Amino acid sequence: MKRIVGRHAEHKKLESNILQISQEAKQAKKKYEDVIDATVGMLHHEEGNVFSYQVVNEVLHNLNDAETYHYAPVRGTKEFSEGVFDWVFGNNADMIRKHFKYSIIPTTGGSGAISNSFYNFNDFNQKVLLPNYFWSPYQNFALEANIDLKTFLMYDENFHFNLADFREKAIELANEQGRLCVLLNDPSNNPTGLCMTKSDWEEVIEILNFVNRMDIPVILIHDIAYIDYQMKEVKDSREIFEAYKNLDEDILAVVVFSGSKTFSLYGFRVGAQIGLSKSQTVVDNFTRVGDYSVRGRFSSVSQPGINVIGKIFSKPEYKESFLKELHEATKLLKDRASLFLQEAEKHDLEILPYCGGFFISVPTTNKNIFNDLVNDHVFVIPMQNIIRVAISSLNIKDIPELVKKIKKHI
């Protein structure tokens, strides 16, 4: 038998339990009326259709031919990049502009941003440090970039962010490989719903500075995919960025923005990596390799996606409509989460602390939990010692029954 696949690709086999389980749930739903599908990480209305923003629809349908069909420039447009920057940093945007050099590179979703960052800011066979609960495609991005992942414990005994374990593993890994690349998905973590505090961030940055002063390159990849779905006002959810002010000069922070989550533009594949550093040389290097990888890996990004986002951010009336709709979207999640928490308390079901995002997670010791729940017509995503419940796609009226069934099998 000839070896068709390159040696480096021999290990590849996509085992996305998330996509597969979602498919199984859809099939089951066709057969049985009482199926509860809590697998899908896309925001849905109560009626079951995706939460599409009316303002996105309006802008999208008014794009001209050039704005729809032409190739997008590798760097996108000024409206897109400055709009994304201002949106992401909110009331800290001026502070970031004052203290940092920066560059914004449009990517195919947050996924493209993370995948390019993994590839460009590590040597082959090195490891990226991240918490032990994580969105599983990170593993695919890592193996595709010829690197791997190393985890630290996300929680301490009080279910707070585990700074002590982060410190220990960061220093250990930095010493081992002479580089430290950290990935944190915050706020509204997928899968746990954790939000780190501003003081957690200050301490994380102190640890990164400590490693940096060991003359070791430090890269922080900050995945903020669910920042707009934190249970806080937009301006308050940006306070964590105040901690960035303390970053040492030559550290690179790559903030990952997802148009899928912020605008429900899931299928458009649009996002961005925002490279920040106090050193111009570091940002120049970020831009040099980032531009190259966009061209070399996916050529450019969705032109309509870039234009819709650019227009919404640059036209006050669009932005106002968007803010109103975002409020509705967050309210949907808030109502579902509140009921879930209330029912969990009623049934004495322990859940991980939830402060925002599309998911609530429940710790479990039942190794057979997935099958037990499927037999009861409930579909969730099983992960290491937890099950992930997507409240993004749940119907509120199913929540009491869902909690009861989870409690029965947990």
Ligand X SMILES: Cc1ncc(COP(=O)(O)O)c(C=O)c1O
- In the complex, the residues that contact ligand X under the rule CB under 6 A are 41, 109-111, 135, 185, 190, 223, 225, 258, 260, 266, 271
Strand partners, 219: 181, 252
For residue 372, the SS3 value is helix
> 140 or 285: whose CB is closer to ligand X?
140
Please state the closest distance from residue 291 (CB atom) to ligand X, in A: 19
Identify which of residues 196 and 225 has a Cβ nearer to ligand X in the complex: 225
Residues in Cβ contact with 24 at an 8 Å cutoff, skipping those fewer than 6 apart: 374, 379
Considering the complex, state which of residue 187 and residue 271 has its C-beta at the smaller distance from ligand X.
271
* d(C-alpha 133, C-alpha 385), whole Å: 10
| CA–CA dist 118, 402 (Å, integer) | 37
List strand residue ranges (DSSP E) for 186-286, in order: 218-223, 252-258, 271-277
Shortest reach from residue 194's CB to ligand X, in Å? 12
* Residue 189 CB, nearest approach to ligand X (Å): 7
Measured over the CA atoms of residue 60, residue 64, residue 67 and residue 69, the dihedral's sign is positive
* Nearer to ligand X (CB atom), residue 41 or residue 356: 41
- Give the C-alpha separation, 2 to 14, whole Å: 22
Angle between helices 399-409 and 316-346 (to 10 degrees): 50
Q: Which is nearer to ligand X, 212 or 307 (CB)?
A: 307
Query: What's the closest the beta carbon of residue 109 comes to ligand X, in angstroms?
Result: 3
d(CA 58, CA 299): 27
Residue 363 CB, shortest distance to ligand X, in Å, is: 20
At closest approach, how far in Å is the CB of 185 from ligand X? 5
Buried b or exposed e, range 5-25, using 16+ CB within 10 angstroms: eeeeeeeeeeeeebeebbeeb
Considering beta carbons, is residue 103 or 273 the nearer one to ligand X? 273
Q: Minimum CB separation from ligand X for residue 188, in Å?
A: 9
- The residue nearest ligand X at its CB is 109
Instruction: Read off the amino acid at residue 113.
Output: A
As beta bridge partners, residue 382 has 387
Closest approach, Cβ 315 to ligand X, in A, equals: 23
Whose CA is closest to 161, among 152, 169, 171, 170? 152
Cβ atoms of residues 235 and 90 within 8 Å: yes
**Of 174 and 381, CB closest to ligand X:** 381
CB 304 within 8 A of CB 74: no
Q: Is 41 or 290 the residue whose CB approaches ligand X more closely?
A: 41
* Rounded Cα gap, residues 248 and 101, in angstroms: 13
Q: CB nearer to ligand X: give 112 or 349.
A: 112
Q: Are 388 and 402 in contact (CB under 8 A)?
A: no
Closest by Cα among 190, 361, 316, 198 to 260: 190
| CA–centroid distance for 346 within its chain | 31
Nearest distance in Å: CB 261, ligand X = 6
